[in-house]
Chain A
Amino acid sequence: MAVKRIRLPLSRDDVRGLRIGEVVSASGPLVTGRDAVQMRALDYHDRGKVVPKELEGATLFHCGPIMARGPNGWTVVAAGPTTSARMDKAGPEMIRTFSVRAVIGKGGMSQDVLEAMREVGCVYLAATGGTAVSLAESLPRVRGVEWEDLGMAEAMWLLEAENLGPLVVAMDAHGNSLYEDVRRSLKRS
């Protein structure tokens, strides 16, 4: 399958140019964040506390990596996507508050999230679950870490991607979801 190369961060127009079923590989800055980052970011925002600026317009990777600290700083040992559905509840608010342009994860997100994606201009890119070594190789630089007190899996890691993929455009900014299409045509007999 043809793989389209995309550059992060994505603009609103870039996002609107992507359609479900396309396969891409991404290069550029992204941040990791899952359950705890989402809860804290929204809580801090509500209370007027400072939130790392990298979240604005971010590519948010639902990932709790294994990191190692060496003489030259942090490196990514293993970094596959985590189950995005856990972030469904506050997902729409997260996307609207920080104008998140892309979410990288696995398993897809709810209809409410899809609606927020359409409204804000955001896509869901499905990374292959469990392919933590390959994906770590495509994350060669660690720019920093925020909220390290949340623990290795939950902290916000600021990473640089180089041809991270394959990523399947599974929910687009036009209200389409590949997961929904698959779900609707499932044969249960």
Chain B
Amino acid sequence: MSVIKLPESIEDVVVNLLRLANTKLPQDIGWALESAAAWEPNAIASTQLGAVLDNVRKAGLLGRPMCQDTGIPVFYVKGGYDPSIADAIARGVERATREIPLRPNTVDPLTRENDGRNLGRGMPVIHHLPSDGDYTEITVLVKGAGSENMTRLGMLDPSDGVAGVMRFVVDAVLDAGGRPCPPGVVGVGIGGMADECVAMAKRVLARPIDEENPDPVLREMEEDLFVRLNGSGLGPMGLGGSATVLAVRIDKAHCHTASLPVAVNIGCWATRRASVRLGAGDAVYSQGAWL
């Protein structure tokens, strides 16, 4: 955690957040990877986990993005609503793209035109979370396409129940195979409406994986899925082995009595995030999100 005295503009803060998230893996994810490497019995899987850990060390030392897919940054802003923050975040994204550098990833969905700024219609992605606190928190989750493309939403029948939800998650992860760069974090949303269900599945990826789920039922489901997925044999990069997921994170919301939505949003081994808390006179950075 580092404390920086303000004045530091939101634009500067966003550049700092993106640099931190892209070049330094959060400690909880790093520990989980090291523990997976220590336990892995499969020889090929061990080469993959070794290569990942080696890469993380080099990225940190050289201050380079650990993955070439620097993704699309998803911003969660918690605090009072400030209409000027979207422009400031956009300026930060554009500058970070040049300075770090980040790969220019955003394109028009139909023409595939890329103006090189990581901006464009609907960008940057910003979610506002209302809060009564006298500070503003910004968390960025860096989301690459390899994992994002494996997102699944199921509008299950209520009669499918918990067993149906569990089956849906297992299938989503195993059918994705090596494509989302396992072992990573599996985000699960249960309930809500379709859009909120997917939003929950993504938002939980911004929570540190060593932070216990406060809901005992969800916690048990997380542990059960963790054991089942790591016993599946999929392994790192889908090449076989034990380490298939680092963690499963679940959130839920009430839903319609005739619905049972479930969404899976996967974070790759490089589940990258960084947060900042902006108080009266300082900016406190952390990679254990407060979200």
Check if A130 sits within 8 Å of B67, measured CB to CB: yes
Q: Please, which residues of chain B bring their CB within 8 A of the CB of A107? A: 146, 177-179, 237-238
Check if B64 sits within 8 Å of A78, measured CB to CB: yes
Closest B residue to A151 using CB positions: B114
Q: Which B residues from 105 to 149 make CB contacts under 8 A with A?
A: 105, 112, 114, 116, 144-146, 149
Check if A128 sits within 8 Å of B58, measured CB to CB: no
Q: Please, which residues of chain A bring their CB within 8 A of the CB of B228? A: 189
Q: Does B204 have its Cβ within 8 Å of any Cβ on chain A?
A: no
Which candidate, B9-17, B39-47, B247-255, is the interface stretch facing chain A?
Answer: B39-47
Q: Interface residue tally of chain B, by bracket? A: 35 or more
Check if B178 sits within 8 Å of A80, measured CB to CB: no
Check if A186 sits within 8 Å of B174, measured CB to CB: yes
Q: Please, which residues of chain B bring their CB within 8 A of the CB of A135? A: 55
The proximity string for B residues 61-104 relative to A, scoring 1 for CB distances below 8 Å and 0 otherwise, is 01011111110000000000000000000000000000001111
Chain B CB within 10 Å, residue with most, of A1, A128, A135, A186: A128
| Contact A80:B68 (CB < 8 A) given known A66-B103, A153-B105 | yes
Q: Please, which residues of chain B bring their CB within 8 A of the CB of A186? A: 174, 232-234
Complex Cα distance, B196 from A103, in Å, reads 39
Complex Cα distance, B58 from A137, in Å, reads 10
Q: Does A185 have its Cβ within 8 Å of any Cβ on chain B?
A: yes
Binding site secondary structure of chain B: loop
Check if B104 sits within 8 Å of A151, measured CB to CB: yes
Q: Please, which residues of chain B bring their CB within 8 A of the CB of A132? A: 55, 59, 64-69
Q: Does B154 have its Cβ within 8 Å of any Cβ on chain A?
A: no
Check if B43 sits within 8 Å of A131, measured CB to CB: no
Check if B47 sits within 8 Å of A23, measured CB to CB: yes
Check if A78 sits within 8 Å of B68, measured CB to CB: yes
Closest B residue to A131 using CB positions: B55
Q: Please, which residues of chain B bring their CB within 8 A of the CB of A64? A: 68-69, 103
Closest A residue to B178 using CB positions: A107
Complex Cα distance, B85 from A164, in Å, reads 43
Q: Does B226 have its Cβ within 8 Å of any Cβ on chain A?
A: no
Count A-B contacts at CB 8 Å.
157
Q: Please, which residues of chain B bring their CB within 8 A of the CB of A134? A: 51, 54-55, 58
Q: Does B231 have its Cβ within 8 Å of any Cβ on chain A?
A: yes
Chain B CB within 10 Å, residue with most, of A83, A166, A178: A83
Closest A residue to B43 using CB positions: A1
Check if B68 sits within 8 Å of A128, measured CB to CB: no
The proximity string for B residues 201-238 relative to A, scoring 1 for CB distances below 8 Å and 0 otherwise, is 00000000000000000000000000010011111111
Q: Does B170 have its Cβ within 8 Å of any Cβ on chain A?
A: yes
Q: Does A77 have its Cβ within 8 Å of any Cβ on chain B?
A: yes
Check if A130 sits within 8 Å of B233, measured CB to CB: no
A63 → B minimal CB distance (Å): 7
Q: Does A168 have its Cβ within 8 Å of any Cβ on chain B?
A: yes
| Contact A185:B51 (CB < 8 A) given known A80-B68, A129-B146 | no
Q: Please, which residues of chain A bring their CB within 8 A of the CB of B66? A: 78, 130, 132-133
Check if B69 sits within 8 Å of A82, measured CB to CB: yes
Q: Could you list 20 examples of A-B contacts with CB < 8 Å?
A: A63-B68, A65-B103, A77-B65, A77-B68, A78-B64, A106-B179, A107-B237, A128-B52, A130-B69, A130-B144, A132-B55, A132-B59, A134-B51, A136-B64, A151-B104, A151-B116, A178-B239, A186-B232, A186-B233, A187-B232
List chain A positions with a Cβ less than 8 A from chain B: 1, 21, 23, 36, 63-66, 68, 77-80, 82-83, 85, 106-108, 126, 128-137, 151-153, 166, 168, 170, 178-179, 181-183, 185-189
Beyond A151-B114, A185-B233, list 8 extra A-B contacts (CB 8 Å).
A1-B44, A64-B103, A107-B179, A132-B59, A132-B64, A133-B66, A134-B58, A166-B47
8 smallest A-B Cβ distances: which pairs? A129-B181, A131-B55, A78-B68, A128-B51, A107-B178, A107-B179, A132-B68, A130-B67
